Structure 1
Amino acid sequence: MLIDERKNAILKLVNENGKATVQELMELFDASESTIRRDLTELDKKRLLVKVHGGALASSKEITKDISVSEREILNRDSKITIAQYAASLITDKDVVYLDAGTSTGYIIEYISASKAVFVTNAIAHARKLCNRGFEVYLPGGMVKMHTEALIGADTCEAIQKFHFTKGFFGSNGLTIQQGCTTPDVQEAKVKESAFAHCKESYILCDSSKFGVISSVTFADFTDCIILTDSNLSKIYQNYDNIKII
């Protein structure tokens, strides 16, 4: 395949799916990591896509589909871990915490020092990790969405609404001033919205690549939460009081 043909094929894939990882592109085009990264850099310079750590976003930055947990773990991992470490430091022994499904929230678990905090989560993997660390954990009922390994549906929302959380930590597929916090799946959005409404303090863990991204369904307004993000944040967002740059 010629260089221009490969670049066009990469661009088509990213635009169709909203995102692509370097590993995915290496396997698909049988190309080295350096080749794929060079292609992404050139396409980014032309503003045809947005290069991020571990992959690329469509330049339109409209995400209508979820990507799998394994794919999301690769994207901006270092930033996610830094943000998660700070989030974990906010948890005290007196907290009843809602921990949303997602890779960013999942990184929190390893760094929690408060041994007596109580957790509710709709993520099966999060529940298992929290149990392994000896925490008191509640897992609501509902249907398992295997693509994101999350519990969703009316039963999940009903179970969550019985709690009053001191703190909630949420992931978001996209974040804009106008559309707020967004996610592709309406059922996951309803679960997030239900938990969000029952949190005294709500935190969104959102690396800078998620800003300006619009997904299908809004689950929270931009100013109704504390947003934890990284230092690569665009200047247009840096003057908001509810944004904490880690």
Structure 2
Amino acid sequence: MYKVGIDLGSSYTKGVLVDSSNQIIDYHLVKTGFDFNRSSKRIIDKFSENFKIDLPIYTCGYGREKLEVESVSNSEIMALAEAVYHLYNKKCSVIDIGGQDTKYIKINEIGKVDKFRMNRKCAAGTGSFLEEIAFRLDVSATEFNSFAEQATETIKINSFCTVFAVSEIVGMIKNGLTMPNIVLGIYNSILDRSFELANIDDSLILTGGIPDYHPIILKLIQKKIPNAVSPEKSQFMAAYGSVLLNTKRVN
């Protein structure tokens, strides 16, 4: 029997399939769309094609209580902390850059959450911010990374609001500023928003969809915090942590 953890985010629904030894066997990602139950069902159906799923399903995220199937909901903050501590087993800070918000979590020596903060007042500096800009500029995440690697200087993006930031960037292009320098400025804007949440004074673990699709973000962070790391498939950490939290409760 296999356990399933699902993180029902505002933009994407992430699922992990976990075996009896708490190892991740498979991952699956779908767009959340308008129906949390529908997106979670797609995850469960995908895993059920080849594996026998054990109920309940362990959930977290915006839509964690929307499933029609038997489930146990968990705090996304606690789930993220559980997964990160399980992987790294040390005191650390976590910055999670999601589709609509950015989270800061401080984990102590025994894996408990000492403090956390979230930035929800604007989507600037999140995944949706990058998606909107990429759509307007007609470039992919891979192209974004490539552009930033070619930058010779960074350009400060002053606008906090996503709508105004897009207008500001379009204006920069019209004024002849180069795409590589603009894109590097966009990435640095995301980092600025993230570091506004906390002063990092220990090891940093970066999670969320942004480091998965925009690996240059980690490189830029490492210029400020050399020991910063990001786990493989980091956007699935909360889904994984949802399973781990409940496994510990049982054991």
TM-score (normalizing by structure 2) = 0.32
**With CA pairs under 8 Å and 6+ residues apart, which has the higher RCO, 1 or 2?**
2
